[in-house]
Amino acid sequence: MKGVFVVGAGPAGMFAARQIALAGYETFIFNRDIRPGGLAQYGIYPLKTKMKTGLRKQFDQTLALPNVHYFGHVQIGAAYDLSLAKLEAFRPAAIVFASGAQGAKNLGLPGEDAKGVYASKDFVYNYNQLESHVPRDFSTHRRIAVIGVGNVAIDVARWLLLDKPAKYTESVVIVARRGPLEVKFDKKEIEHVEPHISRAELVTELERVKDRCAKANQDVSPDKVIATHFPHLNDPAFASISPRLSFRFLSSPKAFVANAEERVTQIVVAENDLILKADGTTSARTTDATSTLDVDTVLFAIGDKHDPQIGLPMGPDGYATKPNSSQPDAKSDATSFEVWDPAGGSVRSGQFVVGWARKASTGLAGLARHDGELGARQAIEFLKNAPDSNTMTESEIGVQLTGSGIRIVDKQDLALLARAEQRKGPIASPNSFHFIEEEGIFDAIDEERGRETRAKNTPEVAAD
């Protein structure tokens, strides 16, 4: 049997698995989390229910295919449940890595380990109730700084300002390394939090950085910046509301100061100059001038990084792929998804990377799907000429995993969990599930299995 392993169950992995299964191959999905979905489940804003529901339906359709097998709660990597070598011992004909970019880039600054300093990605996982992040302390206090100026930063600010269940937030400040004309958030995302911006405070901030931006030929006059990025502030009827959202441009965090309880109390930020480069782009250059911001929580959204523990060779954008300088575009069929060993200068036969595992932080669910499907197409072409690898069956793999002490979650378990969720009734919170912590999820699965077993043996139990 030519079995194909897909590592990761986000959009790239699930749509790659679907493509491979529809081509007739037995497809085995290995997922770090209990439920499938990845960033499509745990990275999308909680209130974007239409998007989440649509993706879940498509993932369910993939899992419903008879030749798709699922091993949830199994993390691949040398320091985790199953090393790559042990995974390969199950004899896959090919492996498609769709494991994403699981880590967050660190700041590498003094005081970064203080309480109240978090990676925004982990914070998002927490409020989206990913089971591995629910028990962790992501407490936020009243004065919060968010480092970064992309959509993740704005999503975090939105949660803190509008939807956080216990609303203690007094203010949120977005700290941006570059100037007002180089923000990365989408217009539709900033609209959610625009009412919390004080027009007067924004104008004062633009005046503060005006001269430094002008040296890079950037006009950051209030009329231009507000019309471009914050158009609702020009409405004569606009009136800002609390809690406040503000911006601190041309500033880079330099150190964190903590109190006796080891909780962050201040950020020391360096003032940046904006430099115009020969190619017309700009860069931020840190100066010796510093300022101090009083905060009690810091969230940094500065990008994602790949986990070297998986065991794949690393490249500049993620796990290394076969060089293809003529067609670098992910939308091109000529893009290479094959894993490349830079040291040996050769392809790792039968191994492919897709989605954020190939290139981190690139696009949303739609692009991840497209990337996964293109990568699956290359894997299928490889499989046509690959020898029969005599891949272990689902039951054989399951015995190996449980024998190693791993509590796996298969498709039957997911169905039991779904019925346990339905039995609890509608959920009132913006989050998605009744059962969110690992132990509670396993208890719900076991209880539902026991209920169904009793119902088969004693018909009247089915009515309880």
Q: Which pLDDT value is given to residue 238?
A: 93
User: What does the pLDDT look like over 389-430, one tens digit per residue?
Assistant: 999 999 999 999 999 999 999 999 999 999 999 999 988 765
25-39, 55-69, 306-320, 343-357: segment of lowest average pLDDT: 306-320
Residue 40 CA to residue 192 CA, distance in Å, equals: 20
How do 171-175 and 244-248 pair as beta strands?
A: parallel
pLDDT (tens digit, 9 = 90+) per residue, 189-202? Answer: 999 999 999 999 99
Q: How far apart are CA 19 and CA 397, in angstroms?
A: 22
Its CATH class, for the domain covering 103-304, is: alpha beta
Length of the chain: 464
In contact, 222 and 203? CB cutoff 8 Å: yes
Over 80: is that where the pLDDT of 38 sits? yes
Integer CA distances (angstroms), 430 to 46, 111, 165, 427, in order: 6, 34, 10, 8
Q: What are the percentages of helix, strand and coil residues in the chain, rounded to 5?
A: 35, 20, 40
Query: What is 3-102+306-409's CATH topology?
Result: Rossmann fold (3.40.50)
For residue 265, pLDDT beyond 70: yes
Contact between residue 449 and residue 409 where contact means Cβ atoms under 8 Å apart:
no
Q: Are 32 and 62 in contact (CB under 8 A)?
A: no
Confidence (pLDDT) at 61:
97
Instruction: Assign 3-class secondary structure to 219-248.
Output: CCCHHHHHHHHCHHHHCCCCCCCCCEEEEE
What are the residue boundaries of the structural domains of the chain, listed by start? 3-102+306-409, 103-304
**pLDDT interval class at 324 (50, 70, 90):** low
Give the pLDDT of residue 463: 53
Helix (H, G, I), strand (E, B) or coil at 114: coil
Average pLDDT of the segment spanning 260-266:
97
The residue type found at 312 is L
Looking at residue 332, what is its pLDDT? Answer: 47
Q: Quick one: average pLDDT of 66-88?
A: 96
d(CA 414, CA 427) in angstroms, rounded, equals 18
pLDDT band at 456 (very low <50, low <70, confident <90, very high): confident
Mean pLDDT rounded to a whole number for the chain: 91
Please measure the distance between the N-terminal and C-terminal CA atoms of the chain and give it in whole angstroms.
44
Question: 316 CB contacts (<8 Å, ≥6 apart)?
Answer: none
Tell me phi and psi for residue 248, to 5 degrees: -130, 100
Confidence class of residue 318 from pLDDT cuts 50, 70 and 90?
Answer: confident
pLDDT category, 331, cuts 50, 70, 90? very low
pLDDT for res 328? 46
Residue 148 to residue 301: CA distance in whole angstroms: 5
The arrangement of strands across the sheet holding 244-248 comes to 117-119, 297-300, 143-147, 171-175, 244-248
Q: What is the mean predicted confidence (pLDDT) over 303-314?
A: 87
Assess whether pLDDT exceeds 60 at residue 325: no
Burial of 145 (0-12, 13-18, 19+ CB in 10 A): buried
Please check the confidence at residue 364 and state whether its pLDDT lies above 80.
no
Cβ atoms of 437 and 111 closer than 8 Å: no
What is the reported pLDDT for 63?
98
DSSP state of 342: T
> Does residue 4 carry a pLDDT above 70?
yes
Average pLDDT value for residue range 76-89: 96
Q: What is the pLDDT of residue 415?
A: 97
366 exposure class (CB count in 10 Å sphere: 0-12, 13-18, 19+): exposed
Q: What is residue 241's predicted lDDT score, i.e. its pLDDT?
A: 95
Q: How confident is the model at residue 459 (pLDDT cuts 50, 70, 90)?
A: low
Over 60: is that where the pLDDT of 249 sits?
yes
| DSSP-derived 3-state class of residue 58 | helix
Give this prediction's pTM: 0.90
